[in-house]
Amino acid sequence: MELNFRSDNEAPAAGKILDSLLEANRRTAWSYGEDQWSNRLDGAFSELFGTQTTVIPVSTGTAANSIALACVTPPWGSVFCHRGAHILTDECGAPEFFGNGLRMVGVDGENGKMVAAHLRESIRRSVGHGVHSYQPTTISMTQITEAGTVYEPAEIAALSAVAKEFQLTTHMDGARFANAVAALGCSPADSSWASGVDLLSFGASKNGCFGAEALLIFGETNLRERAERLRKRSGHLLSKMRYVSAQLLAYIEDGLWLELAGHANRQAAQFVEAVKAHPEARLESTAGANEIFVRWTPAGFAALEKAGIQFFLWPGYDDLARFVFSFQTTEEETVTLCEALRRSG
Ligand SMILES: Cc1ncc(COP(=O)(O)O)c(C=O)c1O
């Protein structure tokens, strides 16, 4: 039995997603997103989100984020995000690169979340020297956060309200948007545009697809051409886009995305209970979805590793580790992990 809790990026693709690829593979189709699958994306996502939605399919989350931010932020503009945000710490400066030098500003906040007061303060502090300062333009929040926590719709709305106060645009890095919506039990709308999100990087690769992500732009927009130009210029317009689009359609059809994410979350919830019951190990943050961060002794983690459990020791720490559950994690794997944790106590 493989006991890999390192990352949902390491999970395979789901069967129904592979079926959609076979279906898209039967005959010729127009290239560069002019195919019958890509042409259905706007309609399908508009229906799912209950508002007009422009869909720009891409193959990585980094591209979705970077195109989104560059679309709405000028080179002299700044993007406010949590100090641990993936776009700030894990994308090798791609947003700055795509945005011709835009500035990323890290905001403090517990549990991986920005809060309205800090965000407001940070925006206020960043202006004041007129043309000499960067111009605050955009905010970005990650759902689920890099600490494994989930923003409630009210928290998203509070941050978006601060953005509006300063006439900024709101972006969400939804690499694990499915896990968040499944955890919250709310509608996709409530976790996005209805709470003030203007652009959403809608992740799919971590939850059953592969090389399939989408930048969603909500409402009436004149940003489509800009986003499409940025996608082409950055080498992300796939000639065989149909394979990305077919996956995205299959992913949202009949609630597959939430079914897969719900399963991952339920496995994670069992592990949360096992950590709570452990005499030494403790949860690093209020875990809400499929990523669980655990504080423990280096010796404890070493014992787990010896039991054949694979997990991700957080870079720079020997007492903090991440355990990630995917749509493919089986009940048996979860039980084995929980048992191994209990025995290593
Ligand atoms: C929160 C978050 N955002 C964005 C990404 C970027 O995705 P990709 O690796 O497909 O570029 C990741 C990848 O792990 C992520 O965890």
Report the C-alpha gap between 195 and 267 in whole angstroms: 28
Cis peptide before 144 (omega within 30 of 0): yes
- Quick one: average pLDDT of 159-176? 98
For the Cβ of 86 lying below 6 angstroms from any atom of ligand 1, the answer is yes
Could you give the maximum distance between any two Cα atoms of the chain, in Å?
Answer: 61
Report the C-alpha gap between 9 and 53 in whole angstroms: 27
Report the C-alpha gap between 160 and 247 in whole angstroms: 30
pLDDT at 127: 84
pLDDT at 78: 98
pLDDT at 27: 96
Q: At what angle do helices 15-24 and 242-252 cross, to 10 degrees?
A: 140
For the Cβ of 145 lying below 6 angstroms from any atom of ligand 1, the answer is no
CB 325 within 8 A of CB 264: yes
Tens digits of residue pLDDT in 296-338: 999 999 999 999 999 999 999 999 999 999 999 999 999 999 9
For the Cβ of 140 lying below 6 angstroms from any atom of ligand 1, the answer is no
Residue position matching structure tokens 């000499």: 132
For the Cβ of 4 lying below 6 angstroms from any atom of ligand 1, the answer is no
In the DSSP assignment, the letter for residue 200 is: E
CA count, 13 A, side-chain hemisphere, 43: 5
Tens digits of residue pLDDT in 230-243: 999 999 999 999 99
pLDDT at 130: 85
CA distance between the termini of the chain: 22
Rounded to two decimals, the pTM is: 0.97
Q: Best of 10, 86, 293 to mutate for ligand 1, by most ligand atoms within 8 A of CB? A: 86
The rounded percent of the chain whose pLDDT value lies above 70 is 100
Separation of CA 94 and ligand 1 centre (Å): 12
Separation of CA 332 and ligand 1 centre (Å): 28
Tens digits of residue pLDDT in 194-214: 999 999 999 999 999 999 999
Scored b (16 or more CB within 10 A) or e, 256-268 reads: bbbbbbbbbbebb
Tens digits of residue pLDDT in 85-140: 999 999 999 999 999 999 999 999 999 999 999 999 999 999 878 899 999 999 99
Separation of CA 175 and ligand 1 centre (Å): 6
Separation of CA 58 and ligand 1 centre (Å): 13
Residue type, 117: A
Q: Which two tokens stand for residue 113?
A: 């979340």
pLDDT at 213: 98
Ligand 1 atom with the shortest distance to the CA of 142: 1
- Is the pLDDT reported for residue 345 higher than 80? no
Q: Best of 66, 90, 143 to mutate for ligand 1, by most ligand atoms within 8 A of CB? A: 90
Tens digits of residue pLDDT in 53-75: 999 999 999 999 999 999 999 99
Report the C-alpha gap between 55 and 46 in whole angstroms: 9
